[in-house]
Chain A
Amino acid sequence: MLLAGCQSPSPQPFFQLAPEAAAHKAAQTRHFETKDADELLSASAAVLQDLGFHVEESVPELGFLRAAKERSAVQNGQLTARGFLMVLSLGRVLMPVDLQQQIVATLVARPTGTTGTRHEVRVLFHRVVWKGDGVVDRNYIAPGEQRMEMVRDPLVYQLFFAKLAKAVFLEAFTL
């Protein structure tokens, strides 16, 4: 694991579209029959507020919103596992568990088609999770190890778009 950490991976894969990119895009996007982009964006901000986010960045000309919220990421399953491991290793191993998470929403609303009567909203949820500290054989593991993951659970997106559809009194549909 140390060796893997020493070698910096090449940045190449991050600029290539993965084969699943189109499927992910479809899950993250909904279309609304409306001419009013500002209203759609404002309603999106309101829905994000409802979900406990605070909006950090907003650009109305581009229909862009970025919002974030922090929550505890402590899971009972992990705590139990940590307890078992500590007992089994006779107190030598205390594994770091997830401590805190930040969930970020990046939203873009823009017109689609040529008539200007339809807009699409695309939202990306991702979370950054930080681990607490731990001990392995008297070696202290400092807190702060982090990982980031895109939220791929379709329910999260469905919930967001259901709320948005209600807020603008329109139907959200996929293509």
Chain B
Amino acid sequence: MSRCALFPMSMVLALAAACATPKPRVDLLSPSEAQTKLRAIQSRTFELPDRLTALRGVMAVLQDLGFVIERANEALGLVTGARFAEPNYFDVVAITVTVRPQDDGKFLVRVNAIYNNKPIDTPEVYQNFFAALERSLFVERG
């Protein structure tokens, strides 16, 4: 190795050591208290005949709200959608809805809404969504 290359190489190594990525925190994947509270406002139970009805209601309400349905899976009870946060076209609102049967025959609907990369944690947003979903399911049954 020539002496000319030695100095810049040692600088690069020093920089690399300084830029070493920090180790992830041990509790990175464990649920926090805020997460548990969020789960409560994101979930609601509905009394419905079957999962198909629930999923159809979810897809209808997403179409009503102007979301583009990206993925839907009947076997997993999963629907994903997204839309631009008009009139601002740089922000994206994405939503994931899962429908799972519970022991008492009712269905648990869990909604995960994200605004750009951050989860939405205002309860009113989820209340509005569930109100719209109830309307959609009621219309369906009638």
Residues of chain A at the chain B interface (Cβ within 8 Å): 4-5, 8-12, 14-17, 21, 25, 28, 57, 59, 61-62, 64, 66, 104, 106, 108, 110, 122, 124, 126, 128, 145-148, 150
Contacts and interface: CB of A to CB of B under 8 A. Distances in A.
B129 A15 contact: yes
B91 A9 contact: yes
Contacts of B59: 62, 64, 108
B89 interface: yes
Given A17-B65, A62-B59, A57 B88 contact: no
Nearest to A129: B89
Contacts of A145: 89
Contact of A16 (B52, B70, B132): B132
A145 to B, nearest CB: 8
Interface in B29-68: 52, 55-56, 59-60, 63-66, 68
B124 interface: yes
B73 A110 contact: no
Contacts of B56: 62, 108, 110
A62 B76 CA distance: 12
A105 B132 CA distance: 22
Contact of A61 (B52, B64, B69, B71): B52
B16 to A, nearest CB: 32
Interface in B110-140: 113, 115-116, 120, 122, 124-126, 128-129, 132, 135
B128 A12 contact: yes
Given A9-B91, A62-B59, A108-B63, A17 B132 contact: yes
Contacts of A64: 59, 69, 72
B106 interface: no
A8 B125 contact: no
Given A15-B129, A64-B59, A106 B69 contact: yes
Contacts of B93: 11, 14
A106 B63 contact: yes
Interface stretch (B4-12, B17-25, B78-86): B78-86
Contact of A148 (B60, B71, B83, B120): B83
A39 to B, nearest CB: 18
Contact of B55 (A14, A15, A57, A62): A62
Contacts of A122: 60, 63
Contacts of B89: 145-148
